[in-house]
Structure 1
Amino acid sequence: MKHFRKEILSILLIAFLSVNATSQTDKGGVSESEDKVETKKNKKKKRKKIKLPKIDLSHWKVTIPEGEGKGKTINVEPPEIFDYATNEVLKPFMYNDSVKGALVFYAYPSNSVTANTKYSRSELREQMVPGDNNVNWTFPQGANMKGKLEMGGTTRDSDGKYHRTIIMQIHGRLTNEQRDLIGAKDNNAPPILKIYWDNGKIRVKTKVLKNLSASDEEILHEEAWDDDEGFNFEQEVGFRKFTLEVKVSEGKMVIILNGNEYKVYESIHMRRWGVFENYFKAGNYFQTRDEGAYSKINYYELEVSH
């Protein structure tokens, strides 16, 4: 009987040890499986794709709000602009957001402004011939610019309204012969188009002749032109992505928001403007001197054709 009891106890002990060993193995298996899952998750995070903006900078130079006072801004042209991501001077004002895939233009009210304004900018200027400002286009020749962009962030004024900024322009330019004809100090002519991000909406401003009977020489003077009343698109873009397209032809200028809302300018003012050369601008021309203010404009796409 005693011998029988010993055999029973031995069998129970072996069974217990076997179950316990299996339990420990199972626990180890679960832990190892969880580790594998965690490892896979971490690998997925590491494999996140870097997004880059779809912008060819071959025909653009950039102006940033750095330099030594009025008229002393820093400008970077091709080919140096291609290295903006590693350029220590440019990096604070023109850089990639590789998560969004945007080219960011950052501006604030600095003491470095261009000769004919009190506002600072981080803004591209079209150069049809890279590195040369003397080759431009006219309305009769035609031109198109299209961009996908968004307001990346901006401050508010003392009334709680967002600070506004100019995101696209068509700027006039005197030829050297026109400059000399009217005795101008430089080649600057008025901007025929300014497109603003204005408190979440898109606002357009253009120029009108004060005297429709003025001669071709008289209209070369900046004081011959006045600002129009401006136009606000109905759509509110806020801080979302939107597209803007500008189409220019002889005597005509069309602005298109998101491919479905149009503003057409076709008048004697547009026809008379054909005397000027022009170039496109795009970026962040910040419209305030408020202390501590700033804005960021994100460009995802930008293309020009002639």
Structure 2
Amino acid sequence: MKKFRKEILITILIVFLSVNAISQNKKSSVTESDLKTEQKHKKKKKKKVKLPKIDLSHWKVTLPVANEEGKPIEINPPEILDFASNEIAKPYMYIDSTKGAIVFHAMPTDSKTKNTKYTRSELREQMVPGDNNTNWTFADGAYMKGKLAMDATTRDSDGKYHRTIIMQIHGRLTNEQRDLIGEDDNNAPPMLKIYWDKGKIRVKTKVLKNLNATDEELLHEDAWDNDDGFNFEEEVGFRKFTLEVKVSEGKMVIVLNGNEFKVYESIHIRRWGVFENYFKAGNYFQSRDEGSFSKVRFYELEVSH
């Protein structure tokens, strides 16, 4: 009888130890799983916010939304430095912290700048913050470099992507030139327009209609015509790419991804030297189609003179 009780006690002890071991394994397993989950959460929490490498202290922005007078709203320095908190700017110029870029969003609205039917979310260089009257000439020299990408864009009725202007060199009349030719503003033609055009980069410049025009005659906008344009071979699509614009007296060079170069060095560029200029960068959308839009990401943008 005693032997039987002893066997029962031994059996109970073995069962107890087995159950306890299984329980310990389960606890250990659950703990490891919880630890892995916790580590994943910590990794997510540690994910750094990416910011664009762009100093906006020498830029103003024109937005595709109008003020009470029907003119496009502009934000100048220093207010532009806080654009991310500006409720008016938020839909059209905002930071994508996952990509580390400023997104410029444009679409057709009733807010259009003078002499155009298109709208823009676009930066305008100001060599002196808040002042449009201090600009540069080709003889002064200028350099702009941007790292950017098309974020999203719509298609037209033929299924082709809408295009947008992503960089410009815009001419400007001095006050003396403006008064000389009797204009009511300082606007002059853009010498350079760089397009994102159906996944490729297209460049357009101005050429004189009459090479013998006097210095006064070439100050008029109708003295200039558009050239035939130039397409870089590489298709950038929606990938990130770099553009450089190098300007010196009588010369303009456009560089795509450090590999392809387009050099302009002609009488047209030399005679353009009479104008002052400023850089523009962003999204000057080239469509009025209903429901159309584009978004351009700028990761980096730098200018020097």
Pairwise TM-score range, normalised by the shorter structure: over 0.9
Q: Work out the CA distance in 1 between the residues paired with 2:283 and 2:109.
A: 13
Q: Work out the CA distance in 2 between the residues paired with 1:7 and 1:187.
A: 109
SS in 2 for 1:58: coil
TM-superposed CA distance for 1:71, in Å, is: 6.4
SS in 1 for 2:180: helix
SS in 2 for 1:282: strand
The residue aligned with 1:199 is: 198
Q: After superposition, give the CA deviation of every residue in 1:32-57 in whole Å (9 maximum; x if it has no partner).
A: 12111111111111111100000000
Residue identity opposite 1:80 in structure 2? E
TM-superposed CA distance for 1:15, in Å, is: 1.3
1:67 aligns with 2:61: no
Q: Work out the CA distance in 1 between the residues paired with 2:65 and 2:118.
A: 12
The residue aligned with 1:288 is: 287
1:226 aligns with 2:225: yes
Tell me, yes or no, if the aligned pair for 1:109 and 1:119 is still in contact at 8 Å.
yes
The residue aligned with 2:154 is: 155
1:259 aligns with 2:258: yes
Residue identity opposite 1:67 in structure 2? A
The residue aligned with 1:21 is: 20
TM-superposed CA distance for 1:93, in Å, is: 0.5
Tell me, yes or no, if the aligned pair for 1:69 and 1:113 is still in contact at 8 Å.
no
| Divergent runs of 4+, >2 A | 68-71
SS in 2 for 1:35: helix
Listed as ranges, the gaps of 5+ residues in structure 2 are none
Q: Work out the CA distance in 2 between the residues paired with 1:290 and 1:210.
A: 32
Q: Work out the CA distance in 2 between the residues paired with 1:282 and 1:290.
A: 23
1:189 aligns with 2:169: no
Tell me, yes or no, if the aligned pair for 1:70 and 1:111 is still in contact at 8 Å.
no
The residue aligned with 2:127 is: 128
Q: Work out the CA distance in 1 between the residues paired with 2:215 and 2:189.
A: 15
Q: Work out the CA distance in 1 between the residues paired with 2:76 and 2:171.
A: 20
Residue identity opposite 1:60 in structure 2? W
The residue aligned with 1:58 is: 57
Percent pairwise identity: 70
TM-superposed CA distance for 1:24, in Å, is: 1.0
Q: Work out the CA distance in 2 between the residues paired with 1:75 and 1:202.
A: 27
Residues 1:199 and 1:72: Cα distance change in structure 2 (over 3 Å):
same
The residue aligned with 2:92 is: 93
Tell me, yes or no, if the aligned pair for 1:71 and 1:114 is still in contact at 8 Å.
no
Listed as ranges, the gaps of 5+ residues in structure 1 are none
The residue aligned with 2:297 is: 298
Tell me, yes or no, if the aligned pair for 1:106 and 1:297 is still in contact at 8 Å.
yes
Tell me the TM-score normalized by structure 1: 0.98
Residue identity opposite 2:270 in structure 1? R
